């Protein structure tokens, strides 16, 4: 148990569906992240939020829409996805930090997404 | 662009064999370095980290890693592996002064240990 909880663990959705992934952290952190883990590829950073404000969108298609209502919760809204979007989506959090601080990221177990 | 290279995609060892997994990064500035492990069906867990100081870092479960700045390397080692070490191992680098908390990951190395 890392203190970062993701739901659901598995999700199968059609290309016309709308679904949402949820992440909750119980660590008192202020920064949260979405990563995508595809087979045979490095983890890809998708979005970064600090104190609920999005600080980075790593050129992610608009069919992925993040939402961070507070520092403890992070959502990823999914709409009209493609089969190539099938992957493990990981949420992470870290202590709010200045650019030079030493911190580490804590990861959730991920949501295994399959787009059919 | 920042990149992290893990040279071995799949390593297969017998129990009690020694392990070394390579990791090289391309950024020339100050970095924080990490090794994460992902056991089957589980979340990414931090194995060890280097922020500053002694370049030989000891982590959990008998793992250690050595930061060699001149070689831009942070190789992971364990003198004697166990069957329970079967997992995927990821090297990650954070550039000091970069966007907060952004980690650059390698592709991962799958370690299989035969009993």
Q: Could you report the per-residue pLDDT of A69-86, keeping only the tens digit for each?
A: 998 999 999 999 999 999
Q: What is the average pLDDT score of chain A? A: 88
Nearest Cβ partner for A104 among B34, B43, B52: B34
Contacts of B103 in chain A (CB under 8 A): 43, 45, 105
Cβ-contact A6, A109 below 8 angstroms: yes
Rounded to an integer, the average pLDDT of A58-77 is 92
* Residues whose CB falls within 8 Å of the CB of residue A49, separated by 6 or more in sequence, listed in order: A31, A32, A33, A55, A66, A68, A74
DSSP 3-state percent helix, strand, coil across chain B (nearest 5) = 10, 50, 40
Residue A2's pLDDT band (boundaries 50, 70, 90)? low
Q: Are strands A111-115 and A87-94 parallel, antiparallel or unpaired?
A: antiparallel
Q: How far is A95 from chain B (nearest CA, A)?
A: 9
More confident site: B104 or A102 = B104
Separation between Cα atoms, residue B89 and residue B6, nearest integer Å: 9
Check whether A63 has a pLDDT greater than 90: yes
Q: How far is B43 from chain A (nearest CA, A)?
A: 4
Within 10 A of A70 (CB to CB), how many other CB atoms are there? Answer: 9
Q: How far is B10 from chain A (nearest CA, A)?
A: 11
For A94, nearest residue in chain B (alpha carbons): B101
Cβ-contact A93, A32 below 8 angstroms: yes
């Amino acid at each position: 148990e890392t203190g970062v909880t993701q739901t659901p663990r598995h999700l199968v959705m059609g290309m016309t569906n709308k679904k949402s992934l949820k992440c909750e952290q119980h660590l008192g952190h202020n920064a949260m992240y979405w990563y995508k883990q595809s087979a045979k590829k490095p983890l890809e950073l998708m979005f970064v939020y600090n104190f609920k404000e999005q600080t980075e969108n790593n050129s992610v298609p608009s069919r992925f829409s993040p939402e961070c209502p507070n520092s403890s919760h992070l959502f990823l809204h999914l709409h009209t996805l493609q089969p190539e979007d099938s992957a493990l989506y990981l949420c992470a959090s870290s202590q709010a930090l200045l650019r030079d601080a030493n911190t580490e990221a804590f990861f959730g177990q991920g949501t295994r997404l399959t787009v059919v | 662009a920042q990149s992290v290279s893990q040279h071995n995609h799949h390593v297969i060892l017998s129990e009690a064999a020694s392990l070394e997994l390579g990791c090289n990064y391309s950024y020339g500035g100050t970095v924080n370095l990490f090794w994460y492990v992902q056991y089957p069906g589980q979340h990414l867990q931090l194995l060890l980290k280097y922020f500053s100081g002694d370049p030989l870092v000891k982590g959990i479960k008998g793992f250690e890693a050595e930061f060699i700045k001149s070689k831009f390397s942070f190789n992971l080692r364990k003198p004697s592996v166990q069957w329970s070490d079967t997992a995927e191992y990821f090297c990650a680098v954070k550039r000091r002064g970069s966007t907060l908390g952004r980690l650059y990951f390698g592709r991962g190395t799958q370690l299989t240990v035969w009993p």
